[in-house]
Amino acid sequence: MTKHTVIIITRDQEAFRTKLTALDLPGLEILAPATPEEIRQMAQRADIMVANPPLAKNYINEAKNVAWMQSTYAGVDAMNADSLRKDYILTNVRNVYGPALAEYTLTYILAYRKEVAENRAYQKEHVWKQRRTEMVSGQTLCVVGAGSIGKDIAKLAKAFGMRTVGYRTKKEPVEHFDEIYVGDELTRCMAESDYVVSVLPNTKHTDDVFNADTFAAMKPTAVFINLGRGNAVVETDLIEAIRSKKLARAVLDVFREEPLPTDSPLWSVENIHITPHMAGYIFSEKEFEIFEENYRRFCAGEPLMYQVDFAKGY
């Protein structure tokens, strides 16, 4: 059997090494270098790469023998820069992070609706302030990017009795969505919603989708949540929408520049809530199931699952 060598380039080197070793895949040598210097030394030995795209982009041009890279992320925009080689097969993971992003979304929706932060503040002041809060049931959630991740978000929202609408490129029914919008219907979808969640990838078609005009279309009581990529949001327009009360709140897990610079005005805007790109930061067995099946296919010369089209960016 032909021998193959995989190099791991992730934030969790040892954990990935342990998991891949446990698969006991035939003919596979596993490299898990610990430092950038070691990665560069070993990169040319590998014909397979398992990697986080923001890290892999620094080494893919040097790893000239890599014929297949298995991304550990769904989003692979970091690998699509003009300066990076694309003469290899790039695959991503799908049906992995949706449940985590759905939990994150509903965590914030429920926390706002049930006034969790307010209760904590009253507790610190020893204040007993009984009041009525509202149900999320009956409210409308809009998912911009109603694909596999969007379906998981909509599924959980439906469990709480919410109405779900989605925006995508194709006008066809999608499971767990009450209605799908396409084309020039984005502002219509957003206008009727109490929560707008973006899971858009970073492509040339998603730049600045959320701007002054789209924010103006939303209810002044609405909440905007970005879990996709930071390129989709004009941050200055979002800040203005929040400060002028054209929008109630925003939750941002992704940004144009990451890590978010310490001097970014986003940090200090009341009612903008920031998390450090961690909504989907989980360790899932599904990732290794995908790699195992793709390795079998790679060895057999069969098409791999979840191949990325560099031209589309996903």
At 282-296, the pLDDT tens digits run 989 999 999 999 999
- The per-residue pLDDT for 123 is 98
Structural domains of the chain in order of their starting residue, each with its CATH number:
4-95+282-300 (3.40.50.720), 98-274 (3.40.50.720)
d(CA 197, CA 201): 13
Alpha carbon distance 156, 145 (integer Å): 16
For the sheet containing 179-181, what is the strand order? 179-181, 163-167, 140-144, 195-198, 223-226, 249-252, 272-274
Per-residue pLDDT of the chain (314 residues; tens, 9 = 90+): 689 999 999 999 999 999 999 999 999 999 999 999 999 999 999 999 999 999 999 999 999 999 999 999 999 999 999 999 999 999 999 999 999 999 999 999 999 999 999 999 999 999 999 999 999 999 999 999 999 999 999 999 999 999 999 999 999 999 999 999 999 999 999 999 999 999 999 999 999 999 999 999 999 999 999 999 999 999 999 999 999 999 999 999 999 999 999 999 999 999 999 999 999 999 899 999 999 999 999 999 999 999 999 999 88
Spatial CB neighbours of 177, under 8 Å, sequence gap ≥ 6? 143, 146, 150, 151, 154, 164, 165, 166
**pLDDT tens, 167-196?**
999 999 999 999 999 999 999 999 999 999
What one-character-per-residue DSSP string does 236-281 give?
HHHHHHHHTTSSSEEEES--SSSSPPTT-GGGG-TTEEE--S-TT-
| pTM, entire model | 0.92
| Residue 77 contacts residue 229 (beta carbons within 8 Å) | yes
Q: Sign (positive/negative) of CA torsion 188, 193, 196, 199? A: negative
The set of residues, in sequence order, having a beta carbon less than 8 Å from that of 148 and lying 6+ positions away, is 94, 95, 98
